[in-house]
Structure 1
Amino acid sequence: MQIREATAADWPAIWPFFHRIVAAGETFTFPTGLGEEEGRDWWLLAEPDRTVVAVDGAGTVLGTAKMNRNHMGNAAHIASASYMVDPTHTGQGVGRSLCEYSLEWARGAGYRAMQFNAVVATNSNAVRLYESLGFEVVGTLPEGFHHPVHGYVGLHVMYRLL
């Protein structure tokens, strides 16, 4: 697997799983009816932020990550990131690789910490992955997310020093 900078040419490969994940409404706080153009604008970030794709040897996009400054001003030293793995490629280490890559990117860009603002508490795979990489839940907004199956569930804020 290779992780490289995403380009506009990657969007047609990202959009089908991006749309499927967002429309399911189980893990992201994006509007479930988010359209393709708006989704592209939200996901494909310009420098100094970064969006990458994980691809296999044949060039198939397996997943993607966007990395950015989480705060401005005197808190601009905190990074954030979001990840999406094509559901047909889960369980293959794509999410872990993207998360590790984003941590290295943030460290290299001079950030001191990374914070995830809204990790859905029922997204146990993501919570376990982030905790295994040194993140901790520093707070939970009770009933902060309306899950289509589980009803109102918590939204974790997760954090780790770099």
Structure 2
Amino acid sequence: MKLLFGLLSPDMDKSGFTCGEAALDTYLQKLASQDMKRGFATAIVARAETAPNKIIGYYTLSAASVLLDNVPAGMARKMPRYPNIPAVRLGRLAVASGMQGQHVGSLMVLDALRRSCANELAWALFLVDAKNERIAAFYEKFLFQRFPDKTLHLWMHRKQAKALCTIENKTK
């Protein structure tokens, strides 16, 4: 099945989306469009090419920052001495219940990294917040690293993201 990725639009069927996590279902159905209009997040949806109005997954991206003091010491030494480090945050990621286990989530993470690397916005870190250890382990497969003091908050340097995007493009 070929997947299409694009911005959430009003003509897409949000009402039928369920992923098994009520908060993620409610966000897509009731809040995602509002967050996009207000400039708080960009919602990207995954759809099957054969059913382009049916959402099978989604994720959100937004601008963020990290205090330099919160970055691991080895990384902080390589950063400019600004108090905040610019970042992109992958806020929510959900896959429809019937599509789970088919690598849709992995493809969405790669799409989020690709979109972020292609964007002209300056950023140094890509951030994700995991809800639990299982999800944190999922992100670690992409080489995300945990913040020492907040182990469910993970990060990746932009150079790593670009390297993953390069690998992804070579496999297409």
Tell me the TM-score range normalised by the shorter chain: 0.5 to 0.7
Q: How many residues align?
A: 136
Aligned equivalents of 1:132 and 1:54: distance in 2? 21
Following superposition, the deviation at residue 37 of structure 1 comes to 3.3
Counterparts of 1:18-33 in structure 2, within 5 Å, are 20-23=20-23
Unaligned runs of 5+ in 1: 142-154
What's the counterpart of residue 136 of structure 2?
127
Following superposition, the deviation at residue 159 of structure 1 comes to 0.7
Superposition RMSD in Å: 3.2
Aligned equivalents of 2:105 and 2:26: distance in 1? 24
What's the counterpart of residue 157 of structure 1?
153
Q: 1:107 to 1:127 in 2, by over 3 A?
A: same
Normalized against structure 2, the TM-score is what? 0.64
Q: Which runs of 4+ in 1 moved over 6 A?
A: 32-35
Q: 1:134 to 1:46 in 2, by over 3 A?
A: farther
Normalized against structure 1, the TM-score is what? 0.67
Give identity over the alignment, percent.
Answer: 10
Counterparts of 1:76-115 in structure 2, within 5 Å, are 77-81=86-90, 82-109=92-119, 110-115=122-127
What's the counterpart of residue 30 of structure 2?
37
Does residue 16 in structure 1 map to residue 17 in structure 2?
A: yes
Following superposition, the deviation at residue 127 of structure 1 comes to 2.1
Larger Rg: 1 or 2? Answer: 2
Q: 1:34 to 1:13 in 2, by over 3 A?
A: closer
Following superposition, the deviation at residue 15 of structure 1 comes to 6.1
